[in-house]
Amino acid sequence: MITQDEDGSFTVRSGDINIFLGIVEEQSKVYTENLEKENLDKSNLGNIIRINNNQIFPPYICTLFSALYLEAFIYDYCARKDSTSLAKTLDKLDPPNKWLIGTKLINGTGIDSSKKSYQDLKNLFSLRNKLAHSKTKQIDMENSDNNIRNKNFLEPIEYLNIIKEILKELLLTDENDIYTKLIIHRLEGNITV
């Protein structure tokens, strides 16, 4: 992460947060490749093996790692902008409220809770909670549609869009955050990290 100090100098910080985003990006790619069956026929054996090994269920992986990324992001954002004490203050809140309150405490105006990006953020954490607190369900063996996977999950690319849109919302409250700008550019395909 890159932050600009008051004197104009830059500070570079490092952590595992980009690994979470990278996993979501990779799973979205794997999912898309697997859906494009005509590409599989033209693929080399190594690519087919990689797709099969990674094709657990990308919507689950993307749900979990998008949530991990966004929760780590807001925690780190607050720590970068203020201190770890503010981030620890927010620790007891659910992640969507961390985004609301954290951005408000840092910037005076928080992200807009009436926007679609915030509603999508809440939906993401609701889906994450369904996975994290999952319980087995009895299956009706007579029913031919026994897909036990939750049908409410999003397409992997939609998780990347949620991340991008909530970060754009953050930029409305803090237009000078360099790291947020870099991640948006990355998600828009303008840079690779």
CA 181, 184, 190, 193 torsion: positive or negative? Answer: positive
Q: Is residue 28 part of a domain?
A: yes
Taking residue 88's Cβ as centre, other Cβ atoms within 10 Å add up to 12
The answer to whether the CB of 48 falls within 8 A of the CB of 180 is: no
- What global pTM score does this model have? 0.77
* Residues with Cβ within 8 Å of residue 38, at least 6 apart in sequence: none
Residue 192 included in any domain: no
pLDDT digit string, tens, across residues 141-163? 666 454 445 567 888 899 999 99
Look at residue 180 and tell me if it is in a domain. yes
Structural domain includes residue 12: yes
Q: How far apart are CA 52 and CA 22, in angstroms?
A: 18
How many domains does the chain divide into?
A: 1
Domain extent, residue 11, equals 2-187
Cβ-based neighbour number of residue 117 at 10 Å: 21
The answer to whether position 22 is within a domain reads yes
Identify whether 193 is part of a domain. no
> Which pLDDT tens digit goes with each residue over 74-130?
988 988 887 667 777 888 899 999 999 999 999 999 999 999 999 999 999 999 998
Residue 86 lies in a domain: yes
58 belongs to a structural domain: yes
